[in-house]
Amino acid sequence: MTSTGLTPVLSRHWDQPQSWTLQSYVRQGGYQALRAVLRMQPAEVIALVKDSGLRGRGGAGFPTGTKWSFISPDDGRPHYLVVNADESEPGTCKDIPLMMASPHALVEGAIIASYAIGARHAFIYLRGEVVPVLRRLQAAVAEAYANGYLGTNIAGTGFDLDLVVHAGAGAYICGEETALLDSLEGRRGQPRLRPPFPAVAGLYACPTVVNNVESIASVPSVIRGGVDWFRSMGSEKSPGFTLYSLSGHVTLPGQYEAPLGISLRELLEYAGGVRAGHQLKFWTPGGSSTPMLTPEHLDIPLDYEGMAGVGSMLGTKALQIFDETTCVVRAVRRWTQFYAHESCGKCTPCREGTYWLAQIYARLENGQAEAADLDKLLDISDAILGKSFCALGDGAASPIMSSLKHFRDEYVAHLNGGCPFDPHAATVFATEGAGA
């Protein structure tokens, strides 16, 4: 196996003293990209980002430059940039560390993106529970204002921009871009019918770009390094670097920044492998909403095309690692309970379907289920997948359908007496001999 290697770009200076301050960021080359951009035409900036092949890092992988290009430059209406920092997908933990360690990378990226699309107001929509991140972002924005990077007539160019950090109330559904916009406008967060898309009628019914934190924070590096440098990493269709989040039964969990297309096998080598004395059983490539995979998929490239080729999705690159002590049924039950709780209730397939799925999983774990319940799980999942108003329903159905595909025998084992696994054995504090 050839080694891909790690490529610390966004995370390069996270270990520096007070890396979150403006002084530290500038010392490492911060805001140089902004100065370069302000000497360019907005269309040139969009073309550069488009040529780089930078794809959205929030899950879907839509090309960032293409999304920016949907905004008509001369339509006479206000334009808005909204940064989606509502990181709430189970297993996903890349954006919050980025904002904690290097908030100015996000601020600079937001200024560049706003300049490119002609926005005069930008918003960072943050999950409200993470108060330390909220304070750090607010401090970074205040520093940017104080040093002339935000406000009126930035760098004497005539470009004005106000950046607001908005704390949401903590709802998973607000990670969906149109529900986020509703929440930002002061309404209950519920997905909107599309079309019209945000690029036509987004925030306050005006043209809006919604991008993920990592997508926006990557822009300054793309500007500084150039198209060829960025495309020298990753694959042709999925170029560049990205943050992979390893969690669960792994020796050294954390953020690993690497080119798109690295394999989980190589990432596990950097992370010290699965916890001592155990073997990999199953894993998720992009959080709980992506179909789970097994050890046979260890060498599949972790990019958009590689994951699609094996029936899964790259998603947010939240690599949750589970060893043989984990009960698949219990893991999927916990996810299902989460989706049932977080369903906004707008559409019947998701509102009713996730509720009934949670009931079946309760029966499975308690030894009260019947063989017909396994087919019922698939029937309900099929009634949700592709039929719900937004992708939350798809996320709820995906782990159920993939777990039944790979581990049906384990489901059958629950029909006689309930869960055969010792829940204590899967914990980090498990004592020797647990589950034996």
Q: What is the pLDDT of residue 1?
A: 44
Q: Is the pLDDT of residue 92 over 70?
A: yes
User: What average pLDDT does the chain have?
Assistant: 95
**Mean pLDDT computed over 94-101:** 96
**Last residue of a domain, which of 208, 231, 254?**
231
Do 351 and 416 have their domain in common? yes
Q: Is the pLDDT of residue 4 over 90?
A: no
Q: How confident is the model at residue 436 (pLDDT cuts 50, 70, 90)?
A: low
- State the DSSP string of 316-384: T-EEEEEETTS-HHHHHHHHHHHHHHH--S-SHHHHHHHHHHHHHHHHHHHT---HHHHHHHHHHHHHH
pLDDT > 70: percent of the chain = 99
Q: How confident is the model at residue 37 (pLDDT cuts 50, 70, 90)?
A: very high
Do 319 and 334 have their domain in common? no
Q: What is the pLDDT of residue 435?
A: 65
Alpha carbons 80 and 223: distance in angstroms, whole number: 21
Q: Is the pLDDT of residue 220 over 70?
A: yes
- For the entire predicted model, the pTM comes to 0.95
**Mean pLDDT computed over 180-196:** 95
Q: Is the pLDDT of residue 41 over 80?
A: yes
Q: How confident is the model at residue 433 (pLDDT cuts 50, 70, 90)?
A: low
Cβ neighbour number for residue 237 with a 10 Å cutoff: 13
Q: Is residue 57 part of a domain?
A: yes
Q: Is the pLDDT of residue 49 over 50?
A: yes
**Last residue of a domain, which of 231, 264, 281?**
231
Do 256 and 398 have their domain in common? no
| Residue range of the domain that includes 385 | 328-423
Q: How confident is the model at residue 5 (pLDDT cuts 50, 70, 90)?
A: confident
Q: Is the pLDDT of residue 116 over 80?
A: yes
Q: Is residue 435 part of a domain?
A: no
CATH number at residue 390: 1.20.1440.230
SS3 287: coil
Burial of 324 (0-12, 13-18, 19+ CB in 10 A): middle
Q: How confident is the model at residue 74 (pLDDT cuts 50, 70, 90)?
A: confident
